[in-house]
Chain A
């Protein structure tokens, strides 16, 4: 599973879920915090469609942390200011990097649940899909 996907699942996860996964590594491995969780900014780059150029729409506040687990580094960045969750995600990233993370099944199950929740929300929105019928004869039917 690639980093983007793992972080997508973890960042969308409930903090207790992340804490649950990380607790195993905190108890059984040597974890050193190299960069304490802290707040920083991420400037958001957007591509606009007129000239296809880039511009900054604004900044998002993110939290970041870097840890070492048995000598292997791990890092995490997450929108918001949940330091505990960010630190736990960094520990899980270090576990992945070290090859000792074996809870992929749990991640996949959560990803499936997240996808289903998102798709149910989509369904609510898609109920508002509209097909207008013009009452003006000059407007082509299609």
Chain B
């Protein structure tokens, strides 16, 4: 079905765009960007991840502009990002060295470096907290500030991954470091079979809901056996780029919050078994997406008969901008092709409705 060009409607379109202001104007209270950035931070994380664009403030702005619509905010950020040059490539971020704010394992009770629950809703009662409807934000901030001030400073030692220890035991394959330049899906068309770097970049940018649904399908039986989360860690990683006046040096430009997950599944190793690892890494505290990404990374390696194991299926249907753009195009005029379809239907009914 193809859409057709139409003319006219300029005034209605302008009025429609103006009407968005009406829909955004329902209260005298402004949506302050600082508040959005800090108090809807999980939503901000999700938008940044799906846009592939790390800027908390601009993600907050995009959400404000789009009435909180995730796909529209992603679209805005991707569009904005396309207006910028890219002058820098970071030095390699080593997530083993990030300052951890959460680290858990479902594989081992005791892990080297310990399990840090961090801030999680996992153990909360899912009951609406009506007192938040009248929250005293300055008082909350002050009380948290005082609590922070009262802490005795502690260091969080970087620790190796759980998988590193299993690699040491030979239960997981070890590979030498591969410094080949990654494929960049923002600059080149994805081809299949896709390089590993293209797969991981595509999954990291993918729609959270899509990845979750695909991973869920694999867990429910349309894929490999139930994986174990070997490790889930969230932390702040330093971002460094080459110093512009002397590329032999690097400089710190800021820090980014990253969540990464490793899942373990059994795999054949000639006449015995080994553990195979799936890997996921995403911006912010979007941990179900990181786990889903790790599950799909492993499923795609298996190359089996299910949708979650089809590289073409998974990697071409999960991009927020592309999927929503395509769905959105259905709203464009399809008058000609629909007429043809209508004619075909009418012919079969002998001219009678």
* Chain A residues near B (Cβ < 8 Å): 2-5, 7-8, 11, 39-62, 64, 66, 73-75, 77-81, 97, 115-116, 118-126, 128-132, 134, 139, 142
Contacts and interface: CB of A to CB of B under 8 A. Distances in A.
A47 to B, nearest CB: 5
A142 B110 CA distance: 7
Given A42-B86, A47-B92, A75 B153 contact: no
Interface in B129-184: 147-149, 151-156, 161, 163-164, 175-182, 184
B249 A80 contact: no
Contacts of A57: 52, 93, 200-201, 204, 258, 281-283
A104 B151 CA distance: 28
Contacts of A74: 245
Nearest to A126: B154
Contacts of B186: 56, 59
B58 interface: yes
A62 B253 CA distance: 8
Contacts of A124: 147-148, 151
Contacts of A125: 100-102, 116, 118, 156
Nearest to B254: A79
A60 B163 CA distance: 28
Closest 9 CB pairs of A and B: A79-B254, A119-B153, A123-B151, A42-B88, A58-B52, A55-B197, A8-B252, A41-B86, A128-B117
Interface stretch (B235-243, B319-327, B335-343): B235-243
Interface of B: 48-49, 51-55, 57-58, 81, 84-95, 99-102, 109-110, 114-119, 147-149, 151-156, 161, 163-164, 175-182, 184, 186, 196-198, 200-201, 204-205, 238-241, 243-245, 249-256, 258, 262, 277-279, 281-283, 297
Nearest to A133: B109
B151 to A, nearest CB: 4
A7 B55 contact: no
A35 B58 CA distance: 23
B81 A75 contact: no
Given A57-B204, A75-B245, A128-B116, A122 B154 contact: yes
Nearest to A39: B84
A54 B178 contact: yes
A40 B86 CA distance: 6
A58 B244 contact: no
A110 B36 CA distance: 29
Contacts of B92: 45-47, 54
Contact of A54 (B161, B179, B205): B179
B54 A60 contact: yes
B90 A75 contact: no
A124 B147 CA distance: 9
A53 B238 CA distance: 19
Contact of A41 (B85, B161, B245): B85
A126 B157 CA distance: 11
A11 B252 CA distance: 7
B6 to A, nearest CB: 37
A56 B238 contact: no
A129 B109 CA distance: 12
Contacts of B254: 11, 60, 62, 78-80
Given A55-B182, A62-B241, A77 B151 contact: no
Contact of A53 (B55, B81, B86, B197): B197
B279 A60 contact: no
A2 B102 CA distance: 30
